[in-house]
Amino acid sequence: MKSIQHRWVTFLVALSIVNIFFLHRIMKSAVQLALSRDKPLEQYTFIDEDVPTRLPLPSMRNAVALLVQDSVHYPLSAPEAQLEWWSTAVGDGNVHLGPSNRLFSVALAHQLHCLRTIRRLLDTESSPTGALQSHTVHCLNLLREHTLCAADSTLEPDDAFDGNVVSGDTTYGRRCADWLATNDALQQDYLQFSTM
């Protein structure tokens, strides 16, 4: 009888230790997650480096669905190319935050600006020089770094590199950041501050 009780006590002690271990890991993960989040906007002073790292978007969803497919839109050179590429711009790509309306550039807008810059360069017959060359190199590096930062590990269909943009048959779904919420915030900020 004592042997059975001893086994049960040993089992319960071992189970308690395992529970404490897992509870500790869960709590540690929760604390790390909480520390990785930006604090509420009102708690920043906007002096020097006391600023948020991301644009606060209360309406932003965790993820949205995006259907990725080849498109006849956004061509390199065509009569409608410039207009279509400019349609990706929202406001001036900047937002004003804090009590003194400190100006920030939003990464999404900067990335789209760089894509427009590179498209415009590819649509010309001459090689870039001077400021345009420096700006293009900056944009290529920015897009490279932001691509590496995202480290997107989505598996694409094996025909994703076929380059058949006419048929538009390379289509697959993606879970993406809520870029519409970012665009809405950029638009609202632009409308508010462009009339001042």
Give pLDDT tens digits along the chain (196 positions): 677 787 887 877 787 887 888 788 888 877 776 666 678 888 999 999 999 998 988 777 788 888 888 888 888 888 898 899 888 888 889 999 999 999 999 999 999 999 999 998 888 888 888 998 999 999 999 999 999 998 888 887 776 566 555 544 567 788 888 888 898 899 999 999 887 6
Residue 91 lies in a domain: yes
75 and 32 in one domain? no
The number of domains in the chain is: 2
Sequence-separated contacts (24+) of 179-183 with Cβ below 8 Å:
179/64, 179/108, 180/64, 181/57, 181/59, 181/60, 181/61, 182/55, 182/57, 182/60, 182/106, 182/108, 183/90, 183/108
CA dist 41 → 52, 91, 116 (Å): 7, 22, 32
Residue 116 lies in a domain: yes
Residue 160 lies in a domain: no
Residue 51 lies in a domain: no
184 and 136 in one domain? yes
31 and 109 in one domain? no
Residue 5 lies in a domain: yes
Query: What's the domain range around 76?
Result: 61-152+171-194
Residue 43 lies in a domain: no
107 and 29 in one domain? no
pLDDT at site 36:
62
124 and 72 in one domain? yes
186 and 102 in one domain? yes
30 and 83 in one domain? no
What is this structure's pTM? 0.72
Residue 65 lies in a domain: yes
190 and 137 in one domain? yes
Residue 48 lies in a domain: no
Other CB atoms closer than 10 Å to residue 106's CB: what's the count? 20
113 and 185 in one domain? yes
115 and 66 in one domain? yes
